[in-house]
Amino acid sequence: MPMGPNYDEVVLTHVRFQAGVPLLNDVYFEITRFDTDATNILYLGDAVPSVGTIEFNKVNYITRVSQAIYADTIPIWDRKSGKLTDFTTHFTFIIDTQGASLYGHRLTFFLAPVGFQIRPNSAGGFLGLFNTTYTDSSRNQMIVIEFDSYVNVEWDPPFEHVGINKNSISSARYTTWNASLHSGDSVDVWVSYNSTSQILNLSWSYGAGNDTGGNTSLSYQVDLREVLQERVTVGFSAATGANIERHILQYWEFNSTLNIAEKSDNKSIGWKLAVGVNCPCWYFNSSSYSSIIYILDKTKKSSRDTSGDSRLDINER
């Protein structure tokens, strides 16, 4: 069925409304259970869904790597407007050192280029994210939150630590941490980014209530436009080396808001129509009521309009 005259652009996107202005590129998801038939998570390496959680590493083998990645890409900034997103994420994980005196290596949350996957030779201290070719380079285009249970003297501080890494295997900010003191405990982690202050905040807490009184937060000022691509892959990576430990993800929530109020270049054209804002869809047809249609009217002033009235009748067929 025709939609009307001179509609020449239709875009399917996430749309919500605030004071009548469409805000684009919001992303929200909450995963309380990782089911085997779900398609929103991609599993790489050893990672598998298991009884509602994600098991990352086979503890009977050494030098293992695994990743669990959200299937859709996430918008971080917009090149045209220069705007950055605000985002928050909350996840819960367990590291189980299996009662060993030597264990390793670490679990990470990361933002990386679209399509990023496990790099060759990236087990152990390389986190499943780096290797000898890519250890400290702006080409990595990556932000990493690491819970590091093994000291690699080549690039780590001389203690187990929690760190924030920018394009590097070495942490730009870090604080001491001890995995064995919390072995088997659920760890709740919150990461947030404020686009105005450009501060990345990290905090964590233990559900068992046995926080040791040490520092459980970090912050780092970083302009994500200088580090990341406009859209990124987000997920988790875990690695073991000659020493092993068990890594389990129990819960993941993510929310980002990149507010871009679309404006027409022609001041005489200001109509935008959105319908069915239940969910993002890949396609639209007349029966797909959950599709999101964002229609930009390119209608020019009619030569017969001598009064300067350029209103568009949205009921016109």
Per-position DSSP letters for 184-241, written without gaps between them:
T-EEEEEEEEETTTTEEEEEEEETTS---SS--EEEEE--GGGTS-SEEEEEEEEE--
Percent of the chain that is helix, strand, coil (3-state, to 5): 5, 40, 55
CB 104 within 8 A of CB 149: yes
Percent of residues, the chain, with pLDDT higher than 90 = 58
pLDDT of residue 210: 57
The CB-based long-range contact list for 200-205 (8 Å cut-off, 24+ gap) reads 200/143, 200/164, 202/145, 202/162, 202/164, 204/162
Q: Mean pLDDT across the stretch 184-213?
A: 88
How far is the C-alpha of 40 from the C-alpha of 34, rounded, in Å? 9
82 occurs within a structural domain = yes
2 occurs within a structural domain = no
What pLDDT band is residue 157 in, cutting at 50, 70 and 90? very high
253 occurs within a structural domain = yes
pLDDT of residue 292: 39
Q: What are phi and psi of 177, to 5 degrees?
A: -160, 150
CB 216 within 8 A of CB 190: no
Helix/strand/coil for 77: strand
Non-local CB neighbours of 266 within 8 Å, separated by 6+ positions: 300
6 occurs within a structural domain = no
Tell me the pLDDT tens digit for each residue of 245-302.
Answer: 999 999 999 999 997 765 544 443 333 333 333 344 344 344 443 333 343 344 344 4
152 occurs within a structural domain = yes
Higher pLDDT, 162 or 8: 162
Which is it for strands 272-273 and 41-45: parallel, antiparallel or unpaired? Answer: unpaired
How far is the C-alpha of 25 from the C-alpha of 160, rounded, in Å? 37
Q: Mean pLDDT across the stretch 208-220?
A: 74
**How many distinct structural domains can be found in the chain?**
1
In CATH, what number is assigned to the domain containing residue 111?
2.60.120.200
Structure tokens given for 187: 């760890």
3 occurs within a structural domain = no
Residue 142 pLDDT exceeds 50 = yes
Give the pTM: 0.75
Rounded to an integer, what is the distance from CA 116 to the centroid of its chain?
12
pLDDT of residue 87: 98
230 occurs within a structural domain = yes
Q: What is the mean pLDDT of the chain?
A: 79
pLDDT of residue 12: 33
283 occurs within a structural domain = no
pLDDT of residue 213: 57
Residue ranges making up the domain that contains 170: 25-260
